[in-house]
Amino acid sequence: MLTGALNVRVFASEPEAAAACAALVAAAIREKPSLVLGLPTGRTPLNVYRELVALHQRGQVDFSRVTTFNLDEFLGLAPDDPSSYRAYMERHFFQHINLAPERIHFFDGSAERAERECVRYDLKLLEAGGLDLLLLGIGPNGHVAFIEPGDSLQAGSHRARLSRESRLAVASLFGDDVWKVPLAALTLGMAGMLQARRVILLAFGVSKAAAVTAMLRGPITPMCPASFLQLHGNVEVWLDAESGRGVDGSR
Ligand code: PGA
């Protein structure tokens, strides 16, 4: 289904979409073993990672030449902090597959100078030739990675002040204590996303329906950062029935 500028696919269920997404990633790696992959965190991709681990364990996908860039990290957290996104990725994905550690790229949330760390990250991404395939989630407020709604967006990687909504959404990583969630994060900028050669955005559940509708049908505005994906020629938005309820007007 083509909705405005973006291709939309509505799946019968979240597990079905996750299995299809894992199959797509595995096929992309078989086609190009040195794939450069952009990876999200959060609840949305958990089943995709589980499926990819299962495919790897069955010998159906080899990550040994793949390069990864994660999209964001909490400011102030070292990579080995159990609440960091780096630790999340180790737990749910990296430790179960055969990625080469030197080809895993992450913001260092504990870097002393955030601006310099962002420049380092963008240079690494440039050196890698940009992202071949970017997997994305979306926040209920329309954020992608931690590019938060605001008056303007930044093209490059940057330090982002986290909205209260975003901090509440990740409180489970911090013992359900929102006061422990860092106030800021380092995030890839919109340019890195728009330069990705292919984007799959996943959104599941009714809490994402309004953001999905705004992304697909609304104006391109920094108040809904995901709406900038309308400018990209190769984005697929994969939904379940709940997140897609506003999409075709039939619900
Ligand atoms: P979630 O977060 O997967 O935990 O819903 C998605 C996002 O905020 O991008």
What DSSP string runs through 23-78?
Answer: HHHHHHHHH-TT-EEEE--SSTTHHHHHHHHHHHHTTS---TT-EEEESEEETT--
The predicted model gives 213-241 an average pLDDT of: 97
Q: Binning pLDDT at 50, 70 and 90, where does residue 34 land?
A: very high
Strand order in the sheet with 72-74: 72-74, 184-187, 158-161
Query: Are the C-beta atoms of 169 and 138 separated by less than 8 Å?
Result: no
Phi, psi of 181 (to 5 degrees): -75, 130
Ligand 1 atom nearest to CA at 44: 3
User: Residue 61 and residue 69: Cα distance in Å, rounded?
Assistant: 18
DSSP SS3 for 11: strand
Decide if pLDDT at 158 tops 80.
yes
Pocket test for ligand 1, best of 43, 204, 208 (most atoms within 8 A of CB): 43
The residues carrying an active-site annotation are 72, 141, 143, 148
Write the CA distances from 144 to 149, 169, 178, integer angstroms.
9, 13, 20
Question: Residues 88-109: pLDDT tens digits?
Answer: 999 999 999 999 999 999 999 9
Closest by CA position to 118, among listed 85, 67, 74, 157: 157
Q: What is the per-residue pLDDT across 43-95, written as a single tens digit (0 to 9) for each? A: 999 999 999 999 999 999 999 999 999 999 999 999 999 999 999 999 999 99
Residue 137 Cβ contacting ligand 1 at under 6 Å: yes
Which residue's C-alpha comes closest to atom 2 of ligand 1? 42
